[in-house]
Amino acid sequence: MKMDVLLGLQWGDEGKGKIVDVLAPEYEIVARFQGGPNAGHTLEFDGIKHVLHQIPSGIFRSQILNIIGNGVVLDPIVLKREIDGLGKFSIDYMKNLVISKKATIIIPTHKLLDAALEQSKGDKKIGSTLKGIGPTYQDKIGRTALRVGDILSPDFKEKYEALVAKHKTTLSFYSHPLDELPGMEEQFFAAVEFFKTLNLIDSEYVVNDALDSKKRILAEGAQGSLLDVDFGSYPFVTSSSTMAAGACTGLGVAPSKIGEVFGIFKAYCTRVGSGPFPTELFDKDGEDMRKEGNEFGSTTGRPRRCGWLDLPALRYSIMINGVTQLFMMKGDVLNIFKEIKVCTHYVLPSGEKIDKLSFEITEQDVSPVYKTMKGWNCSLENIHSYENFPAELKEYVEYLEAELNVPIKLVSVGPDRTQTIMR
């Protein structure tokens, strides 16, 4: 049996949480492999809206085992809050949630460092969610981090103090205040005590044993390919490998065991935080998109930047991930437009037309070339099958499919579980 991977092809917030929840009944395991509390994955069903940050989006399905893999950076405080929040849904997290002992822990000073580093960048700031992601992955790669398994060791406190002492040197270099630290530490150690009671395991064995016994696993990506630390618009990226390959290292699964790669994209684009966004709209269309799509961050509440779909960027994401099926999200948001644009190329200041995301291109030097298509400009509310889609929406889907050379197998037309059209 092979593991399927579901990931975002843009700058995050494509609707991954919704689709993992929709697909979960076809799987036995859902596993997160990278990122941490910077993610905000929204699920809507039975009139309830829920945002998950670190817990996989299979948690609302009682038969699913949810795994937080080794590639994740985990904040115990956020995890405790998330589990407390699930209390009213009578979820048996002792049965349905396991956490890799090799996942990395976000400690309070990682969050202070995130703030200090962002502040020091001035107008070059990344627009981080300030959840401590960058500094924690820095410690992981620098081989100084604390891991989940460490909390069970008798000398955890000493290891913690040693790391904090190092962080304080950097914080003092940036003259960053430490007033909040004692309160944060109190919360942290209370959360660590709770954390110790959870199912902490070597999840690579669970995942591979499951595949050997023909169980189906869905790996749930966080962020998006254009925020990948290698292939995103560096340095305006997150600090993990957000692509399909990240699911291998983030769970301990061999590349030969990857099955389908589901690539999720919005029918348009959004980005939260700084960095290049060639099709960004600064006009009324952009404002209307934001309002209609309720484009405000699930984690930080920040307004998301909005713009038309970008084919060169999408093609790039499909290429680096080996996407086998595409899922188009938020089709309903474009109901409001009489005309819809799709970026097919970029033009450089020299006049050269390109369709590649080269090392050299930056925000300043590309302008998008658009193809304009007729909008459907009507509600999709009572439409439950692809056959009944308005002709212009079918044209949009089929045009993209032909351009991208990968089948679009699912179109989402609203936030609820039920507003999902399979093809």
Task: Let me know if 355 is a catalytic residue.
Answer: no
CA dist 228 and 140 (Å) reads: 17
Residue 304, both tokens: 């998301």
Beta strand 73-74 pairing with 353-354: unpaired
C-beta separation of 20 from 57 below 8 A:
yes
H-helix segments, 121-176 = 133-141, 156-173
Helix pair angle (108-120, 133-141), 10° resolution: 110
Please identify which residue in 8, 15, 37, 40 interacts with Mg ion, judged by CB under 5 A. Answer: 40
Residue 250 touches ligand GDP, criterion: CB under 6 A: no
Binding mask 274-293 for ligand GDP (x = CB under 6 A): -------------------x
Burial of 379 (0-12, 13-18, 19+ CB in 10 A): exposed
Residue 223 binding partner per list Mg ion, ligand IMO, ligand GDP, none, with a CB distance cut-off of 5 to 8 Å that depends on partner kind: ligand IMO
Residue 249, both tokens: 């290292």
Among 218, 108, 101, 77, smallest CA distance to 149 is for 101
Shortest spacing between CB 144 and Mg ion, in angstroms? 29
Residue 75 touches Mg ion, criterion: CB under 5 A: no
Q: Write out the binding residues for ligand GDP, residues 291-330 only, by CB under 6 A.
A: 293-294, 298, 329-330
Length of the chain: 423
Task: Let me know if 50 is a catalytic residue.
Answer: no
The catalytic residue among 4, 13, 139, 285 is 13
C-beta separation of 264 from 331 below 8 A:
no
Task: Let me know if 41 is a catalytic residue.
Answer: yes
Residue 139, both tokens: 């410690």
Shortest spacing between CB 325 and Mg ion, in angstroms? 21
Please identify which residue in 3, 5, 7, 18 interacts with ligand GDP, judged by CB under 6 A. Answer: 18
The catalytic residue among 21, 41, 102, 176 is 41
* Residue (50 or 131) nearer to ligand IMO, CB: 131
Ligand-binding annotation for 332, yes or no, is yes
The residues, ordered by sequence, that sit 6+ positions from 421 with a Cβ below 8 Å of its Cβ are 383, 384, 385, 386, 389, 410, 411, 412, 413
Residue 36 binding partner per list ligand IMO, ligand GDP, Mg ion, none, with a CB distance cut-off of 5 to 8 Å that depends on partner kind: none
Shortest spacing between CB 394 and ligand IMO, in angstroms? 28
Site stretch for ligand GDP (CB under 6 A), options 25-33, 199-207, 242-250, 410-418: 410-418
Instruction: Kindly list the catalytic residues.
Output: 13, 41, 140
Interface residue list for ligand GDP (CB under 6 A): 8, 12-18, 40-42, 44, 293-294, 298, 329-330, 332-333, 412-415
